[in-house]
Amino acid sequence: MKKIFIIAAAIASALLSGCASQPLSTFNAFHPAELNDLVASGQYLQKTDNFFVLNDSSSSMAETYHGAGYPAQPSPTKLSVEKEILSRINLTLPDLKMTSSIRSFGFGPCLDWGFTRLNLAPTPYSKSSFGSGIDTLTCASGGSPMINGIEGTANDLANTTGNIAVLILSDGYGLDANPYAAVQSLKQQYGDRLCVYTVWVGNEKDSQGQIVLNNLSNMGGCGFSTTADRISSSADMARFVQSVFLKSGTSPVADCSMLDDDADGINNCDDKCPDTLKGAHVNPFGCWIVDIKFDNDKSDIKPYYYAELDNAVSVIKHNPGINIEVQGHTSSTGTAAYNQALSERRALSVKNYLSDKYVHADTALTARGYGLTQPVDTNETEAGRANNRRVELKVLK
């Protein structure tokens, strides 16, 4: 009995010390876009009546975040980035009448020794009350019982009316149990009223978790999945908030299918990369793509693709001073680890070619592999898999 007590005390002490040692990070100032005018004019209408957050506060979120878009001192943890994302959402949200709530999952002192904690009970939304709820996310500890958080959210929603947005922030890493059945049950309970949105706040080693979050949002039927770095700028955050909370109003609004703001030949409705540089070659989704194909398990570039790469060099020459991420992507054929390494090799191959040909002194090029985590098309057909096997160039904000 004494031995059991000593082990239990040691575990409790480790959890407490880990919680206490997590540093606070100070992020660079965020300047939100103004959306109230769009709502006041009738150009956009409110579509979400209930905003319920499920935040990952498990021990993996105490790790340092290595992604882009959230410079801070000291280097932020993944939990700190989650809180910063919620803060940026709060700052960007227009004045809407809705119910908001925050729940977390994990275990240990950070969650009052439960598997899930209701940090902000369902309450009329205000920036101050939601901000107070964010402040209660003080640390991360324990396993990843996301299923308990989802089941708790189902109970939190019991008295809601109107449309529901459930936002899950997580790295998707080391979940204690498969959460798919819990989300499916949540969807069955609330039907078309409920949409699931996910934000992956992870590092490269957590890439499998991104797939889990993608699947969760797909199960919701009307939500979507994104990543922390893709909503880090004020413009990207504004688009995210509009997509989750607003819909086009009755005021005359230009038909997006007739607009092409970045003049890349892809209309605004279909353009997933709306800020493509002039002259860049794009794929059917409007993203700056280097249209080259690699042999199986190869990363060397064949000479007849040089012209395509030279076009990218020309675009870079005409836009000195930009920061470009060379992104390697794959289809879902093979293991996640294999595809991750393959995507990195191919991204690096393209980056080296661009660097050797010409890069202005003020231009920064980085190579990053995304493996199979960010498909732009279905992986159920050969044509879809071919679209997913790609190299994209993204201008970083």
Give me the pLDDT at residue 1, please. Answer: 39
Which pLDDT does position 397 carry in this prediction? 58
Position 333 scores a pLDDT of 87
> What is the model's pLDDT at position 18?
43
- What does the alpha-carbon distance between residue 282 and residue 276 come to, in Å, rounded to a whole number? 8
Specify the fold of 257-395. 60s Ribosomal Protein L30; Chain: A; (3.30.1330)
Report, as ranges of residue numbers, the positions in the chain whose pLDDT lies below 50: 1-21, 251
How far, in Å, CA of 79 to CA of 165, rounded?
Answer: 21
pLDDT at position 8 is 41
The identity of residue 328, as a single letter, is G
Pairing of strands 72-73, 26-27: antiparallel
CA distances from 218 to 14, 105, 155, 223, 300 (A): 37, 21, 22, 7, 35
Q: How far apart are CA 315 and CA 319, in angstroms?
A: 6
Rounded Cα distance between 182 and 3, Å, is: 37
Q: Cα 372 from chain centroid?
A: 15
pLDDT at residue number 365: 84
| Domain range annotation of the chain | 37-248, 257-395
User: Quick one: fold of 37-248?
Assistant: Rossmann fold (3.40.50)
pLDDT of residue 147: 96
Note whether 37-248 and 257-395 share their fold.
no
* Crossing angle of the two packed helices 207-220 and 180-190, in degrees rounded to 10: 20
